[in-house]
Structure 1
Amino acid sequence: MATALDHDDAFVRLVDQIRGRGTNPMLERIDPYRSLILTSVEMPQFLQELARLRLLAMTTEDLRVVREFEDLARECATNPMLQLHLDGD
């Protein structure tokens, strides 16, 4: 099992910046206090939205966490048996 850790909540802060705009529906489904499971079929859209989110990265930590999620999403996209679990606090 691969993991992307976000101890500083960088990913959550980035997602909060786009929340409510309606342009990134998959990212907007993320709740920092709940879990969300995405399938390999959803990865192309998730990767597109992560690319837009990466443009908002202001720190090296922001960039690191987005890239880790992109790596996991690419891995998930290659195997229909994989799922991406986003687990909140």
Structure 2
Amino acid sequence: MGVDVVLKQVSRPGTSSRRRRLAQLDIVPDTDDVLARICERSKLPMLRRVDPYDDLILTAAEMPQFLDEVETERKLTTDDQERALLAAVHHLGEHCSTQPCTELHLESD
């Protein structure tokens, strides 16, 4: 079970949570279950929260820790496929941390 990382724009006209709308801005697909395996073996707290059977939504407030953990795993791995995937995930996380009204969705298959 892979974990796709999706950057989404959140719009909420008015005050009702039922009017919340999400638009996909970018995606890093986990077609070979690489991210799922990284998160499963990780000892880092935020990456350990990633579940290949359930979705996880992260906000800009959570990005500093998420980015640090992704970068730590990227530095630890010797696998080129893992390194490339983590770099792409880090890139989406950076966008989430700087763009207002965005969320990073880690979506299970």
TM-score class normalised by the smaller sequence: 0.7 to 0.9
Larger radius of gyration: 2
Tell me the residue number matched to 2:94. 74
Tell me the residue number matched to 1:56. 76
Tell me the residue number matched to 2:38. 14
| Cα RMSD after superposing both structures | 1.1
Which consecutive unaligned segments of at least 5 residues does structure 1 have?
none
Structure that is richer in strand per residue: 2
Structure that is richer in helix per residue: 1
* Residues matched between the structures, number: 85
Tell me the residue number matched to 1:27. 47
Q: 1:46 aligns with which of 35, 59, 66?
A: 66
Which consecutive unaligned segments of at least 5 residues does structure 2 have?
1-24
Does the residue aligned with 1:3 lie in a helix, a strand or coil?
strand
Output one character per residue of 1:4-43: Cα deviation in whole Å (capped at 9) or x when no partner: 011011111111121xx4xx21111100111000001100
Tell me the residue number matched to 1:83. 103
TM-score, with length taken from structure 1:
0.88
Output one character per residue of 1:25-69: Cα deviation in whole Å (capped at 9) or x when no partner: 111110011100000110011000101111232322111110111
CA distance in 2, matches of 1:31, 1:52: 19
**Percent identical:** 38
